Amino acid sequence: MRDTTIIKDIELQPYISSDDLAGKAKALLAQQKGSWELLSKGYKSLESIEVKNFEFEHFKIKVQFNPGRIVSSSAKVDPKSIKERKCFLCPDNLPGDQKGILYKDDYILLCNPFPIFNEHFTIPKTGHVPQEIKSSLPAMLELSRDLSRYYTVFYNGPKCGASAPDHLHFQAGDKGFMPIDSEYCGIRESLGRKIISCNDLQVFAIDRYLGKFFSFESSDSEAIVKAFNSFYNIFSATSPNTGEEPMMNILSFYEDAKWHVLVFPRAKHRPSYFFMEGDDNILLSPASVDMGGVLITPLEKDFNKITRENIVDIFRQVTLQDETFGTIAEKLARLYS
Ligand SMILES: [Zn+2]
């Protein structure tokens, strides 16, 4: 890695409000907005985005018209296309003005130049290794605790939203931006059920939310990792592509001295609308942020025409069917009974 890629403390100092990683990240963003043109343009264009809300009982879904996301939403992520492009997360390929914060010698925290959030970061591993959650969940948990003052951390599986499936990375965005950040407890109580309560660990199956998910709560990260691994193995066994990571998006936030890890198992990456021709087409590629309640439409035509029925149908298509979800919940619960 070029040593100029890591930002110096002295460059961050004028912007620092707190000395934890969250405070440093916030400072990095302020520094980079002033020194990296692509980033300041990205945030400028964020000022003109449009948002509309769809109210459901117990939660809402926001739709964000964000033209800056066209590259990501329509990205070719097949192995051939990936092989032919230069990896944009490898430290040696970063633009000269892009600086990052080294995290535990293993990850580098960077500002995302195509933001969805008011503050949006990408946190790739320093080395070029594939996107893979099983071995990296412990790191994700630590990261979400260290960023917890301001940010929620998220993970997109290599086949369901990661635009660099060949390079391990997480993302982080300001807390409160996704409706689920503030709605989670209400959703859990109204639309979910507790399936595991064991010492310090609680697991919930939230099966009446639009995007069904499992949530793992504990102050003990090892208990979460162990339960997640059990979930992973059960979910893998239901998926036809053995050997590949089963599709999922994950949100993690640390609050009241415990982790809250929300795992959205996916049935498919892109809904049928993505592939339709003419008026029926909606260019929308759901990933973690969409699962958290913010659907991103990079094209204005889609933002204007998307209906409540489309939204319900999109979630129905990309998340697990009731029966599969229920079976996974049952098998997981049985391991702890
Ligand atoms: Zn890379």
**Mean pLDDT (whole number) for 306-326:** 97
pLDDT band at 85 (very low <50, low <70, confident <90, very high): confident
What confidence score (pLDDT) does residue 271 get? 94
What confidence score (pLDDT) does residue 67 get? 84
Does the structure show a pLDDT above 90 at 2?
no
Contact 181, 175 (CB under 8 A): yes
**Mean pLDDT (whole number) for 304-312:** 97
Q: Report the separation in Å between the CA atom of 240 and the middle of ligand 1, taken as the mean of its atom positions.
A: 28
Sheet holding 294-297, edge to edge: 50-56, 59-65, 294-297
Q: Report the separation in Å between the CA atom of 164 and the middle of ligand 1, taken as the mean of its atom positions.
A: 8
Q: Report the separation in Å between the CA atom of 87 and the middle of ligand 1, taken as the mean of its atom positions.
A: 5
Q: What is the residue extent of each domain of the chain?
A: 49-88+128-335
Q: Report the separation in Å between the CA atom of 258 and the middle of ligand 1, taken as the mean of its atom positions.
A: 32
Protein residues near ligand 1, an ion, with CB under 5 A: 87, 89-90, 128, 167
Taking the C-alpha atoms of residue 5 and residue 101, their distance in angstroms, rounded to an integer, is 9
pLDDT in tens, 153-208: 999 999 999 989 999 999 999 999 999 999 999 999 999 999 999 999 999 999 99
- Residues above pLDDT 70, as percent of the chain: 99
Taking the C-alpha atoms of residue 202 and residue 304, their distance in angstroms, rounded to an integer, is 41
Q: Report the separation in Å between the CA atom of 163 and the middle of ligand 1, taken as the mean of its atom positions.
A: 11
What confidence score (pLDDT) does residue 153 get? 98
Does the structure show a pLDDT above 80 at 76?
no
What confidence score (pLDDT) does residue 181 get? 97
Neighbours of 279 (CB within 10 A): 8
User: Which CATH number is 49-88+128-335's, of 2.40.50.140, 3.30.428.70, 2.40.30.170, 3.40.50.2300?
Assistant: 3.30.428.70
If one compares 24 and 82, the residue with the highest pLDDT of the two is 24
Q: Report the separation in Å between the CA atom of 127 and the middle of ligand 1, taken as the mean of its atom positions.
A: 7
**Of 127, 180, 124, 114, which is closest to residue 155 (Cα–Cα)?**
124
Contact 130, 77 (CB under 8 A): no
What confidence score (pLDDT) does residue 25 get? 98
By the 10 Å C-beta count (0-12 exposed, 13-18 middle, 19+ buried), 71 is classed as: exposed
Helix (H, G, I), strand (E, B) or coil at 168: coil
Taking the C-alpha atoms of residue 314 and residue 36, their distance in angstroms, rounded to an integer, is 36
Q: Report the separation in Å between the CA atom of 88 and the middle of ligand 1, taken as the mean of its atom positions.
A: 6
If one compares 77 and 204, the residue with the highest pLDDT of the two is 204
Secondary structure element (H or E) that encloses residue 53, with its range: strand 50-56
What confidence score (pLDDT) does residue 111 get? 98
What confidence score (pLDDT) does residue 221 get? 98
What confidence score (pLDDT) does residue 307 get? 97
Q: Report the separation in Å between the CA atom of 167 and the middle of ligand 1, taken as the mean of its atom positions.
A: 5
pLDDT in tens, 210-255: 999 999 999 999 999 999 999 999 999 997 776 789 999 999 999 9
**Mean pLDDT (whole number) for 273-278:** 93
- Residues above pLDDT 90, as percent of the chain: 87
Q: What angle, rounded to 10 degrees, do the helices at 37-46 and 21-35 form?
A: 100
Does the structure show a pLDDT above 80 at 1?
no
Does the structure show a pLDDT above 90 at 82?
no
What confidence score (pLDDT) does residue 239 get? 78
Q: Measured between alpha carbons, how far apart are the two ends of the chain, in Å?
A: 49
Can you give the pTM of this predicted structure? 0.96
Q: Report the separation in Å between the CA atom of 124 and the middle of ligand 1, taken as the mean of its atom positions.
A: 8
Does the structure show a pLDDT above 80 at 77?
no
Q: Report the separation in Å between the CA atom of 81 and the middle of ligand 1, taken as the mean of its atom positions.
A: 14
Strand partners, 173: 120, 152
| Average pLDDT over all residues of the chain | 94
Does the structure show a pLDDT above 90 at 128?
yes
Taking the C-alpha atoms of residue 314 and residue 319, their distance in angstroms, rounded to an integer, is 9
